[in-house]
Structure formats: structure tokens, C-alpha cells
Amino acid sequence: MHPQNTQIAQMGSRMMISIPLVRVTHLRVFAFIGVILAICGCIPPCFAFMPRVIAIDFGLKRTGLAVTDPLRIIATALDTVPSSGLLAYLKSYLAKESVDGFVVGLPQHLDGKPAEIAPNVHALIEVLKKTFPAQWVATVDERFTSRMAQQTLLQSGKGRMARREKGQLDRISATIMLQGWMAAQ
């Protein structure tokens, strides 16, 4: 890359590195540099990535899961699992991947009062804290995620039969929750 194509500028308290078509704020500069150094072989790859975060959209029958990429830039739908098998799935996933914490959707009505399933979600949060003490658990408001997931699915261009898969909405809702949480960080 030609030196004149790269700029580094200090803008108030935010440092911006501008590479053609790519802008990285100071929050992700270290991860970005870490990846570059790991690719070059200058540092071990384990230091280049951050642990992932898992979002959980809990339901009585099914639970939608989403996960961040190792740099915590992108939220991706992970899976839909039966709620009865959620803990087993999470234990298996945490055995394979490094996970920093969980973001759990807290169901509320439009007036801010807890939804009927809220006690079940609070019980899940307590179980997560006991089962995975090394990971933190955060909650996010999930009021409009199902509606947003429906709109996303309609706009995706998938046929009616493809949209009928029940777990798809749960995964998309979890992804929307995780994107909102990442944007707030």
C-alpha cells in the first residue's frame, strides 16, 4: 500500500485510522492491529481476537442464539435450540469457543411492564450466572425485536414456505438484540 493512501488523524478524543474504504475507531484499533500482526506472525493469534458474546432470545419452546465475530464487529445468527436443551448447547459451544458473556433479551410490554415470560427469563439469567460464573450476563430490552425480525425476513426475498421455519425469527431476533447491544457499547 502506498504511504499517501493511509492517514492517521487525531480528532478530539477519537483517533481515526483511515485506510481506503475502511475506517476503524480507536475502540477497535488494537484488535485491528492485533489481527494484522497475527497474520504477519509477529504475535500469537490468541492475542489478536476478543472472546465472543452470545445473545439469547429465550422462549418457552425455542431459544434463538446469535454470536459476535472474534473482533466484535458483526453479529451473526448462530442457532435455534429447544429451550430444554439450551444449557447443554451452551456448555458444548463454550468448550469450543472463547465466550466473554451473554446478552439476554428481557421481554417487556410497550408500557414497560414485564411480559408474562419475564419470570422465566430471570430464572434463566440466574441459571446462567451459576452455570457459567466466568462469564458476565447483561440484559437488553427486546420489545420490538420480533417485529423487526419479521420485517427483515419479509425484505429478505425468501419465499413464503422458507419464511415459515419457526426458528428463523428467533435467530434473527437474537441477532438484532446483539447488534443493538454492540452499538450501545
Let me know whether 14 and 86 are in one domain.
no
Question: Domain of 160: which CATH number?
Answer: 3.30.420.140
pLDDT score of 41: 54
Q: Domain containing 57: what range?
A: 52-184
The overall pTM is greater than 0.75: no
In the chain, which residues have pLDDT < 50? 1-27, 43, 47
**65 and 132 housed in the same domain:** yes
For residues 40 and 87, membership in a common domain is answered with no
Q: CA–CA separation, 145 vs 64, rounded Å? A: 12
Burial class (CB in 10 A: 0-12, 13-18, 19+), 52: buried
The answer on 95 and 35 residing in a single domain is no
Structure confidence at residue 138 (pLDDT): 94
- Residue 82 and residue 12 share a domain: no
Total tally of structural domains belonging to the chain: 2
Q: Which of 172, 153, 174 is nearest to 163 (CA)?
A: 153
Of the three residues 15, 30, 47, the one that is the final residue of a domain is 47
Rg (CA), the chain: 19
- Let me know whether 65 and 114 are in one domain: yes
Same domain, 62 and 148: yes
15 and 62 both lie in a single domain: no
Q: Are residues 27 and 65 in the same domain?
A: no
Q: How far apart are CA 115 and CA 68, in angstroms?
A: 27
Same domain flag for 38 and 57: no
Nearest-angstrom CA–CA distance, 64 and 62 = 7
